[in-house]
Structure 1
Amino acid sequence: MVDNEDLLQRISERYKKMSKGQKLIADYILNNYDKAAFMTASKIGQKVGVSESTVVRFANMLGYEGYPQLQKALQEVIRNKLTTVQRIEMTSELDESTLLKTVSKMDINNIRLTVEEIDKEVFNRVVERIFSARSIYVLGLRSAAPLAQFMGYYLSFIFEKVRVVTSGVNDILEQLIHIQPQDLLIGISFPRYARRTVEAMAFAKNKGAETVAITDSLLSPLTSYADHILLARSDMASFVDSLVAPLSLINALIVAVGIRKKTDISSDFQELERIWDEYQVYIGKDRS
């Protein structure tokens, strides 16, 4: 398997040795990688004026078995390279009349692929680590912040020492200053990856804490500092990040943990229901 991380650089380095047709393909990909990543071999061939077989040979020359592997590598590369403007341009031609269906289908596909590809052994190990940790830190910045808040909110009903680490008055590293080897940090980040999340993962790792990365790819920068990696698909339909599959994965973790502490949770929630009712936290039936 070829390293996808330096794909564009590798194309540039081999450019001088390419045939005339291959150079046309290389030029198009280097200048339009955001569009090329979602084009078939035939489409790229038509665009630059070469045959489909030339595009396939171009992929072989770069070390890929065929064009689909090159296309997948390009899609991995652009996950963290695309600007918001480029994402908007990618979807500018979508038919508004079918937009709801298109986006929903993509989200459904993200969940399906996540379920099919998830490493169940890692999933179970993460559940075990959540149970055994002295304190649990859940880290999520920018678009991943709601995911961290959701996970932290429910885990706090189950465990006493749960802390959500996100943007606020204190710097991220200040919020992690007391993290210890017996603690667990769950870092959540999806393209475009937040630099501070990666730094926080490295910080926790250096302090001896155990780390979990919830991210989209093994190429994610979080994986370098993770003891356990859980992958969830987040293929984007537009400038908005698709976080449906990551949320489903987090929901599954919470349910798995909750089932194992069912008796304790039941007792706690009975007390919580009494408190919520007394202070009218939720809208209920009229008592009059």
Structure 2
Amino acid sequence: MEENKDLIAIIQEQFPKLSKGQKLIAQFILSNYDKAAFMTAGKLGEKVGVSESTVVRFANALGFDGYPKLQKSLQELIKTKLTTVQRVEMAKEYSNDWTIFRKVLKSDVENIKSTLDEMDENAFQYTINKILKARKIYIVGLRSSTAIAEYLGFYLNIILDNVNIVSYGISDLFEQILKVGKDDLVITISFPRYSKKTFELANYAKKQGASIISLTDSVLAPVASISEEIITVKSNMASFVDSLVAPLSVANAIIVAVGMRKKEEIKEYFDKLEIIWKEYHIYDEK
């Protein structure tokens, strides 16, 4: 099956060839993909009045190797299609605060585990090398991704002193990246719902000859299409809020990896900082 093709378009394209029972499934998904994404094959069949085996055959008819692959594709779809209101509606299943606590933390643990299991070692190594070789580094992460961009940029700038965090402020976003060039690196951080401005900034930088590396959740993310390398990080949502726990963990790993390559330099830097912190009482040392 064509991975980069919209699932909705595939269903619409295959609809005339489907059996009567499969058409009922297709109609339900087209109208309620936000609900169908989290239904088992049995539950979906029960909802539309067909057998579980019919649901499995429906998935095969669309080109999927079983229902779980179709379900995963549906869940990828809703990351970009769902409005915040629809996400809030999905959260109605949370019966109490303790249920929320357990479900959210379990989801975060699973995101980190999946990211670790699926991480491309060569992609990570390539990213560290590019960071160390870049003349200048621009980090672009807007809206909810701002938190990751600020964290990554703050620590990388302590180690390297050539890092710019592109963010909303007194100057326009494009003004902050205006001088980007061929020896520079742009790290984009982009998770659903994807910021259009992040893609535009990365696209501008690419046209100026800069290298683009993206931290994102999927090879189908808009920035992925113009990136030299992609660090794929899981951010599956437990509710209306996307999880940025795994992206923050990956940002932390990047900082530590770069720091270990510059161990002697940062030791000298932190020795000076400790003197300043102590002299000006930056930290409470009671």
TM-score range, shorter chain: over 0.9
Identity %: 53
- Partner amino acid, structure 1, of 2:225: S
Amino acid at match of 2:7: L
**Counterpart code for 2:257:** A
Deviates more, 1:206-215 or 1:159-168: 159-168
**Residues 37-56 of structure 1 aligned to structure 2 (within 5 Å):** 37-56=37-56
Match in the other structure for 2:260: 259
TM-score by structure 1 length? 0.96
What residue is the counterpart of 2:63 in the other structure? 63
- Give distance in 2, aligned partners of 1:17 and 1:113: 36
Return 5+ residue gaps in structure 2 as ranges. none
- Asked whether the 8 Å contact 1:59–1:70 carries over to 2, the reply is yes
The residue number in structure 2 matching 1:237 is: 238
How far 1:213 moved relative to its partner? 0.3
Following the alignment from structure 2 to structure 1, what is the Cα–Cα distance between the partners of residues 42 and 102?
27
Alignment partners' CA distance in 2, 1:150 and 1:157 = 11
Residue in 1 aligned with 2:225?
Answer: 224
- Measured after TM superposition, the shift of residue 53 of structure 1 is 1.0
Query: How much does 1:54 deviate?
Result: 0.9
Aligned to 1:102: 103
1:10 matched residue in structure 2 = 10
Counterpart amino acid of 1:119?
D
Aligned to 2:80, the other structure's residue is in SS state: coil
Following the alignment from structure 1 to structure 2, what is the Cα–Cα distance between the partners of residues 4 and 49? 31
TM-superposed CA distance for 1:169, in Å, is: 2.3
Deviation track 1:211-233 (CA, whole Å, cap 9, x = no partner) reads: 11000011111101110100110
Note if contact 1:145-1:166 (Cα within 8 Å) is conserved in structure 2.
Answer: yes
- In structure 2, the residue matched to 1:275 is 276
> Is the 8 Å Cα contact of residues 5 and 219 (structure 1) preserved in structure 2?
no
> Deviation of residue 4 (structure 1)?
4.9
Q: Deviations over 1:7-52 (max 9, x none)?
A: 1012122223322111110111001101111111111000000011
**Alpha-carbon deviation of 1:253?**
0.5
After TM superposition, the structure 1 stretch with the greater mean CA deviation from structure 2, 13-22 or 169-178, is 13-22
Return 60-69 or 118-127, whichever deviates more: 60-69
Query: What is residue 24 of structure 1 aligned with on the other side?
Result: 24
- Structure 1 residue 145: deviation in Å? 0.2
CA distance in 2, matches of 1:8, 1:234: 22
8 A contact 1:28–1:48 mirrored in 2: yes
Letter in 1 for 2:76: E
Counterpart of 1:50 in structure 2: which amino acid?
V
Structure 2 CA distance for aligned equivalents of residues 31 and 111 of structure 1: 32
* One-letter amino acid matched to 1:136: I
Inter-partner Cα distance in structure 1 for 2:170 and 2:13 = 45
- Paired position in structure 2 for 1:111: 112
Letter in 1 for 2:270: F
Is 1:211 equivalent to 2:212 in the alignment? yes
SS of residue in 2 equivalent to 1:163: strand
Q: Does 1:180 align with 2:181?
A: yes
- C-alpha distance in structure 2 between counterparts of 1:108 and 1:256, whole Å: 22
Q: Deviations over 1:150-176 (max 9, x none)?
A: 001001111121100112222222211
* Bigger mean CA deviation after superposition, 166-175 or 206-215: 166-175
* Alignment TM-score, normalising by the size of structure 2: 0.97
Structure 2 Cα separation of the partners of residues 142 and 217 of structure 1: 18
Quote the Cα distance in structure 1 between the aligned partners of 2:212 and 2:75: 27
Q: Residue 193 of structure 1 corresponds to which residue in structure 2?
A: 194
Gaps of 5+ in 1: none
Partner of 1:143: 144
What root-mean-square deviation, in Å, do the aligned CA atoms of Structure 1 and Structure 2 show? 1.1
Aligned 8 A contact 1:4 1:73 in 2 = no
Code of the aligned partner of 1:282 = Y
Q: Which residue of 1 aligns with 2:161?
A: 160
- Letter in structure 2 aligned against 1:132: K
